[in-house]
Amino acid sequence: MRIGQLAERTGTSRRLLRYYEEQELITAGRGVNGYRDYDEACVDRVRQIRGLLDAGLPTRVIKQILPCLTTGAIHVSDATPETIAILEREHARMSARIECLVRNRDAISGYLAAARVSRRGTR
């Protein structure tokens, strides 16, 4: 797919997609006309990159952990203490957010169950 299509499908600007390519977070083939050509897997990869960026991770750390997200292959060759600290903080933050989401989901489930029982009783 062309860069415009990838931008539209991921809600990411063309400029950012070119930046991701410069940072070696995504790759594109080139058509005979020189236009970038992205495969379908880039859609999910860009979404993962955006989520990690939104979480506050820098692109240099994202580049290191992306293979774990896409292939499950874990290769650690140059993990710095800074990288490890960033990932530990992010892991703790995500875990706390997940716990909060689970509590909220359970509260909504309880409310919905009570509301359904209540509605059945008023019919």
The pair of structure tokens assigned to 96 is 């706390």
Three-class SS string for 20-65?
HHHCCCCCCEECCCCCEECCCHHHHHHHHHHHHHHCCCCHHHHHHH
Rounded to 5 degrees, φ, ψ at 80 are -85, 160
Query: What is the pLDDT, as a whole number, of residue 2?
Result: 94
Bridge partners for 29 per DSSP:
37
Query: What is the spatial distance between Cα 104 and Cα 123, in angstroms, rounded to a whole number?
Result: 29
Query: What is the pLDDT, as a whole number, of residue 67?
Result: 79
- Predicted TM-score (pTM) of the model is 0.67
Average pLDDT on 82-87 reads 84
Average pLDDT on 60-89 reads 79
Taking phi first (over 0 means left), then psi (-120 to 50 degrees means alpha), and beta for anything else, what does residue 79 get? beta
Q: Residue 74 in 3-state DSSP?
A: coil
Q: What is the pLDDT of residues 3-15, one digit of tens each?
A: 999 999 999 999 9
Torsion of CA 101, 105, 107, 108, to 10 degrees: 140
